[in-house]
Structure 1
């Protein structure tokens, strides 16, 4: 049994995690602990308030006691909102505090893009334009080219959590461009676990979504690979060998 821990802000799309656990169909347990949601608004200052290491460490203590082998901070904006260096400092401090490997959804996107072997991506974000730009900058710092970005300009995670497959598809299509090799939907407040396959079928290319990527990142930290077709190309492709 591999136990993975997730620190999830508030209550938006947390039910994606038991759904993903079911789709994995293996000896993997996904444990979720809720952190304070902070201010439920999408603006540049707000994401930083949800990612204070002291708060994450307090929440992560329960995951350590439950037997989790790795922990992922499952708030994309709560990672990239600190910038490239700040997000690194955040996960290093979290790992020290909880005594296990740690990462965040933001870095999960970076690693997942490398896993599927692409360099040019489109971003479909629920955020306002300036927050979406912060995510694009974060990806750029990792050497990933953002060839297109679309902002839905929602006001809050609560609003994002109300979206279903039609809205997700509209968001992905609005962001997509022929130059993009994959489409990224970065908000962990979106319910995407049941829709990745349909999104990829409609777009004809890999789609990376925040909760899907968070779980894959936890597996990466524990050196586990799971073939789960229901979770899209990220969980079915062979890893890219770097030469």
Structure 2
């Protein structure tokens, strides 16, 4: 049994994690979610810096250790990339020290997943306001990834994002796509996407990376597992 722990901010789309667990081809994987206190629910830089502060993340670590987790991922994109490339590294190093486990975040999960696909040019379809979306583009550029287009939707709260339906997610991905992009990225763990990844890839005709999908993939990578999931898109299409 491989156990991976996720620190998830608040309550929006955490049900993606048990869904992904069910969609994995292997039944010996356990995904454990511990909720962190988000403070103010706002896609605003100051609120996001507080949401991703070391004290808020450390508060959930003991519960994850008790779950038997072999690795931990901070399941938040905006609450990691807003610290910048170097600051996001400091964040996961502090989390690893607090947990005594390999650690990462959703922002690094996107960077690693893009590289795993062999892609260099991506389009970003974000739920965030423009200024927050720009931080994500800057983070990807620091990872050596070219952002050929970035679309922001201006949504301020995770609570609102969590209500979006399949049709709204598909519309976001289509609107954010670009002919030169080798993959399309949807960077918000508050967005329900686990059930739609295959539909998104079919609609766009290219790999689609979504926040909760890449977060699980990153946790499994840290735990030394490569697990297939035929309904979870190109990223989970092979095992090597």
TM-score clears 0.5: yes
Q: Deviations over 1:162-220 (max 9, x none)?
A: 10111111111111111000000000000000000000000000000000000000001
How far apart, in 1, do the equivalents of 2:102 and 2:38 lie? Answer: 23
Other-structure match for 2:178: 177
Other-structure match for 1:225: 226
Other-structure match for 2:192: 191
Other-structure match for 1:82: 83
How far apart, in 2, do the equivalents of 1:25 and 1:41 lie? Answer: 36
Other-structure match for 1:153: 154
How far apart, in 2, do the equivalents of 1:101 and 1:180 lie? Answer: 31
Contact 1:116 1:237 in 2 (8 A): no
Unaligned 5+ segments in structure 2 are none
Contact 2:128 2:156 in 1 (8 A): yes
Other-structure match for 1:24: 24
How far apart, in 1, do the equivalents of 2:22 and 2:239 lie? Answer: 21
Other-structure match for 1:46: 47
Are 2:139 and 1:134 equivalent residues in the alignment?
no
How far apart, in 2, do the equivalents of 1:46 and 1:179 lie? Answer: 34
Q: Quote how far apart the aligned CAs of 1:25 are.
A: 3.5
Q: Quote how far apart the aligned CAs of 1:238 are.
A: 5.9
Other-structure match for 1:2: 2
3-state SS of paired residue (1:37): coil
Which shifted more, 94-103 or 36-45? 36-45
Q: TM-score of the superposition, structure 2-length normalised?
A: 0.98
Deviating above 4 A after TM superposition, structure 1's stretches of 4 or more consecutive aligned residues are none
Other-structure match for 2:34: 33
Contact 1:10 1:37 in 2 (8 A): yes
3-state SS of paired residue (1:193): coil
Q: Deviations over 1:1-45 (max 9, x none)?
A: 000000000000000000000001320000000001221111222
Question: RMSD in angstroms over aligned alpha carbons?
Answer: 0.9
Contact 2:62 2:99 in 1 (8 A): yes
3-state SS of paired residue (1:228): coil
Q: Deviations over 1:51-103 (max 9, x none)?
A: 11122112011111221000000010010011100000000011011100000
How far apart, in 1, do the equivalents of 2:196 and 2:170 lie? Answer: 9
How far apart, in 2, do the equivalents of 1:37 and 1:111 lie? Answer: 26
How far apart, in 2, do the equivalents of 1:120 and 1:199 lie? Answer: 18
Unaligned 5+ segments in structure 1 are none
